[in-house]
Amino acid sequence: MKSVIYSRTGDPSVLRLVDREVAEPGPGDVRIRILVSGVNPTDWKSRRGSGDGAAPPFPEVTPNQDGSGWVDAVGEGVVDLAVGDRVWVHLAAHQRPTGTAQEYTNVPADRVVKLPPGTSFDIGASLGVPAITAHRALTVSEDGPERLYPGARRRPAATPARDLCRRLRADGELWSGVGGH
């Protein structure tokens, strides 16, 4: 398979295209045939690192947290996903050496979510980190307002943002399995 990697931090010139063997998924992992890989600021900031030439956290890193594609294989113990499922992937490279900038990637099953029917792979690859961030912002108050609008902290109000999240969760699997937030 083709894989984009870097072994030192820096500008985009540190990225290399290499051939790799397709790895079997381990227990609790799912192998995804990546059709679309999403790029987030966290991806290029990690690649840039703290300075050109600094060592990344692993000897080689395949970047990109988010992506979408088909389930190609499942590891032992995976029950909610099956070969052929259309999925989106989030946090694929979080504290791991391999992300979605490759033809296949193995990720923990809890980072893989079925795409709702009719949702494109482009949309799926754009969800990941942005969707989880938005979901968290709308559902975890941590001393924030119950409702998002100008002046929300000054008066009590209904909760349309939370209602929106509840409707999104009720409409399908878009939010199922997303970190429990």
Is the pLDDT reported for residue 170 higher than 70? no
The tokens describing 88, both together, are: 């989106």
Contacts of 41 (CB under 8 A, 6+ apart): none
Helix (H) or strand (E) holding 88: strand 86-89
At 40-49, the pLDDT tens digits run: 888 888 898 8
State which fold the 2-125 domain adopts.
Quinone Oxidoreductase; Chain A, domain 1 (3.90.180)
Is the pLDDT reported for residue 174 higher than 80? no
| pTM reported for the whole predicted model | 0.75
pLDDT at site 134: 79
pLDDT at site 169: 53
Q: What residue segments make up the domains of the chain, in order of their start? A: 2-125
At 2-35, the pLDDT tens digits run: 999 999 999 999 999 999 999 999 999 999 999 9
Neighbours of 72 (CB within 10 A): 19
Q: In this structure, are residues 66 and 105 in contact, taking their beta carbons and an 8 Å threshold?
A: no
Q: Look at residues 40, 46, 30, 37 and name the one whose alpha carbon lies nearest to residue 134.
A: 40
